[in-house]
Amino acid sequence: MARRKNQRKGPKKTFGTRDDSNSQKNWTELVKENEKWETYYKELGVIPAAEWDEFKKTCQSQLPLTFRITGSRKHSKEVLQLFEEQHLPNLTNVTWEGEEVKPPVALPWYPERLGWQLDVSKSVIRKNDQFARMQRFLVVENAVGNISRQEAVSMIPPIVLDVKPHHFVLDMCAAPGSKTAQLIESLHSESAEPSGFVIANDADYKRSHMLVHQLKRLNSANLMVVNHDAQFFPRIKVNSAEDHKGPQFLKFDRILCDVPCSGDGTMRKNINVWKDWNTGSGLGLHIVQLNILERGLNLLKEGGKLVYSTCSLNPIENEAVIAAALRRWGDKVRLVNCDDQLPGLVRSKGITQWKVYDKQFQVREKGSENCLDSWFPPSTEEVESFHLDNCMRVYQHQQNTGGFFITVFEKVDTAASEAPAPASDAIAAVEEAQGPELKKAKIDTSSTASHIQKKEKLPRDANEEPFVFVNPDHPALAKCWKFYGIDDKFDKSACLVRNATGEPTRTIYHVATALKQLIVNNEDRLKIVYSGVKLFVSQRSDIDCAWRIQSESLPIMKLHMNSDRIVSGNMEILKKLLTEAFPRYEDLVAGDVDPEFIAQTQKLSAGCTFIRVDRNDPAKEDLFLPVWNGSKCINLMVCKEDVHELLYRVFGIETTSKQNPKAEHMAKKSQEAAEASVETPKEEEDSSETAIDATATQ
């Protein structure tokens, strides 16, 4: 959900933690009451009178912790099995301070039991040994991207959008990125190399960079993060300017419009909503929301689907926006009935009648001065044709969640020209009615094709790094192709660098083929923040290949490598490499640890090598990991978070957050060497630096 204002930064939080610093102990808890909010929703009747007390009580209570096991990786089933077999039994029938503690439950509507809810107080999580152990498991798996903490209702829009691996997907208001992550996972659900892509956009520059931090861990070459006002998202050229056919523009298969909203569906976690809520927020955001929806429908291809969602219950931000779009698009779009989707999800239908309160909390009638017609309910004829009952409303008390509104559009015909924007005189009326609040975020509502064309030509900032593609025959790349045995099925022309010289110096990135064309053809209109995964990173220059394959690109590269630098190893050598830093070959030979693996790696020249471990279990994913091969020692090049995760998932070895098994072993070796006055071999020093670099770039 894109927010209107930047939120105050606070301490980093993990699963079930809270900052109990002394500065907070004297805070007075905010009173969770708002008379206008209560009057407004009671008058609207969106919550049945018999359910109001339960609804309000739920809104005032703590929101349960919810998480999902990411579905794009093959080992998601393995992580789920680990949770259900090693943790869930110990969290059932637990009592704490004389009361029974609720065990975690699978969200009944989330596919394949990959979504979970935990309704337990934070004191229990901190102090009960079994819940603390579960928390550690969640933290470790979250760090490597196998688990994502996300509010339950926030998971719904990406699911009903129904993204497939070949789809071109746009997330118009993407920050902070939890829904975007779901879209990427769906894209990669069948292959590490889908033909589609996800473009994640956010209007706020800082939040667009926060998106990068959230999404980098998914290691997708099919992702692009851009920074544009969603109301005027630029048309993207799919062909070059020299094409004799003239410019052709991209249309998306799937679009998510999770628009800025007043956020009263989040009042269980954002308690400031209780004191700040007013009718003016929804009225002021209505036009922005409608403009974003309009732009999304313009960019959607025939047969494509668009999801419009908010974390607000206010019909001015929801059904009124939907009705306004349907009014102007006519039979070119329709609302999709999702009753047969997400079985187990308790939901309510969209509404067709509501009162309109102005900023002074006075009821207004359609046609009143300084009021937009689109604020008001549809006519009787429109009710029958719009089918607003196909909208989904999820209320807090229905299954102990936040509140959310979701609508799925399907575009029937894109032959018509782009729909007109709201009339400028109507906007002026809104500004006069709403005063300074709306004027602070004043918007230009002219959305004709010519206006969009003017807005989409954006010169690159002098401080921004360019995206420069490297000739696949460049000597640096040619060396890599040969050294690692990269086949011709890999798109070698889709490698780029992020510097003005265009020369490979430190890092070479790789993007999906489809994104390469968009980057090349839209330098003057797309403000690209991020795209591509790190493919090659420079290492020592005194070895056969000065570049190593980066871990984040291994899911792709392992499909295209045919090289003797890939060596099969057993579970024993893997455990050794996970727990010991730079074990010497002489010690491994003496210990008879996987002699065949050791013999093969010793024959190879120094540099980046790979270990493939067959786990001999069709239900579990085989492992493919990078190794530094030196003349006297060997080292597994994975970050400490991956070490913790692999030790537990593969070997059942639990660690604490303060432990770093390889670092502890390295410190012990250094101490022993110092006591014996033994100098550390040079390759250990060099490969240690390589390992640190690998850790830092995960």
**Residue 85, domain CATH:** 3.30.70
> Is residue 303 marked as binding?
no
pLDDT-derived band at 668, boundaries 50, 70, 90: low
Radius of gyration of the chain (CA): 28
The residue among 678 and 139 whose pLDDT is bigger is 139
**Residue 606 located in a structural domain:** yes
**Which residues span the domain enclosing 116?**
64-149
> What is the mean pLDDT of the segment spanning 368-397?
97
**Residue 290 located in a structural domain:** yes
Q: Which of 156-160, 211-215, 273-277, 444-448 has the lowest mean pLDDT?
A: 444-448
The CATH code of the domain that includes 253 is 3.40.50
Bridge partners, 509 (sequence order): 496, 534
> Is residue 196 marked as binding?
no
> What is the mean pLDDT of the segment spanning 299-305?
97
Active site (annotated) includes residue 311: yes
pLDDT-derived band at 685, boundaries 50, 70, 90: very low
Q: What digits encode the pLDDT tens for the residues 448-471?
A: 333 333 444 444 554 578 999 999
Place of tokens 């025939």: 302
Distances (CA, A) of 104 to 97, 124, 380, 394: 19, 13, 46, 21
> What is the mean pLDDT of the segment spanning 632-649?
93
Do 645 and 654 touch, CB atoms closer than 8 A?
A: no
Percent pLDDT > 70 in the chain is: 82
pLDDT-derived band at 10, boundaries 50, 70, 90: very low
> Is residue 331 marked as binding?
no
300 and 242 in a common domain: yes
From 456, 481, 513, the end of a domain falls on 456
- pLDDT at position 670: 54
**Residue 275 located in a structural domain:** yes
SS3 420: coil
Return the sign of the alpha-carbon dihedral for residues 537, 539, 544, 549.
Answer: negative
The residue among 69 and 621 whose pLDDT is bigger is 69
Do 198 and 222 touch, CB atoms closer than 8 A?
A: yes
Question: What percent of the chain is helix, strand and coil (3-state, nearest 5)?
Answer: 40, 15, 45
167 and 81 in a common domain: no
Do 314 and 37 touch, CB atoms closer than 8 A?
A: no
**Residue 185 located in a structural domain:** no
Specify the DSSP element, H or E, that contains 611: strand 607-613
Neighbours of 622 (CB within 10 A): 14
Distance CA 461, CA 350 (A): 44
> Is residue 173 marked as binding?
yes
Largest distance between two CA atoms of the chain:
91
274 and 144 in a common domain: no
pLDDT-derived band at 396, boundaries 50, 70, 90: very high
Q: What digits encode the pLDDT tens for the residues 484-504?
A: 999 999 999 999 999 989 999
DSSP 666-686: HHHHHHHHHHTTPPPPHHHHH
239 and 129 in a common domain: no
> Is residue 74 marked as binding?
no
Q: Which of 181-185, 320-324, 441-445 has the lowest mean pLDDT?
A: 441-445
- pLDDT at position 430: 37
Closest C-alpha among 674, 542, 525 to residue 226:
525
Q: Does the pLDDT value for residue 474 go beyond 90?
A: yes
- pLDDT at position 618: 85
Which member of 261, 311, 371, 391 is catalytic? 311
**Residue 323 located in a structural domain:** yes
> Is residue 178 marked as binding?
yes
Number of domains in the chain: 3
**Residue 467 located in a structural domain:** no
Q: Does the pLDDT value for residue 614 go beyond 90?
A: yes
281 and 382 in a common domain: yes
159 and 145 in a common domain: no
> What is the mean pLDDT of the segment spanning 121-134?
88
Contacts 24+ apart (CB under 8 A), 689-693: 690/539, 690/540, 690/548, 690/628, 690/635, 690/637, 691/581, 691/628, 691/635, 691/637, 693/537, 693/539
- pLDDT at position 123: 83
Q: Does the pLDDT value for residue 112 go beyond 70?
A: yes
Neighbours of 658 (CB within 10 A): 5
pLDDT-derived band at 99, boundaries 50, 70, 90: confident
Mean pLDDT of the chain: 86
Distance CA 237, CA 520 (A): 9
Calculate ∠ Cα 612-618-620, nearest 5°. 65
243 and 139 in a common domain: no
Distance CA 138, CA 146 (A): 9
> Is residue 330 marked as binding?
no
pLDDT-derived band at 191, boundaries 50, 70, 90: confident
- pLDDT at position 680: 47
Place of tokens 């997330």: 171
> Is residue 691 marked as binding?
no
347 and 263 in a common domain: yes
pTM: 0.87
Neighbours of 662 (CB within 10 A): 20
Q: Does the pLDDT value for residue 432 go beyond 50?
A: no
- pLDDT at position 13: 45
Percent pLDDT > 90 in the chain is: 71
> Is residue 176 marked as binding?
yes
158 and 145 in a common domain: no
Closest C-alpha among 605, 671, 663, 667 to residue 636:
663
Q: Which of 90-104, 205-219, 409-423 has the lowest mean pLDDT?
A: 409-423
Q: Does the pLDDT value for residue 6 go beyond 60?
A: no
Distance CA 202, CA 172 (A): 7
pLDDT-derived band at 389, boundaries 50, 70, 90: very high
239 and 137 in a common domain: no
130 and 165 in a common domain: no
> Is residue 269 marked as binding?
no
- pLDDT at position 664: 61
Alpha helices in 259-318 (DSSP H): 272-276, 279-299
Do 183 and 161 touch, CB atoms closer than 8 A?
A: yes
> What is the mean pLDDT of the segment spanning 431-450?
35
From 440, 456, 472, the end of a domain falls on 456
332 and 346 in a common domain: yes
**Position 590: which residue type?**
A
- pLDDT at position 30: 77
Q: What are phi and psi of 566, to 5 degrees?
A: -100, 115
Closest C-alpha among 191, 159, 133, 188 to residue 68:
159
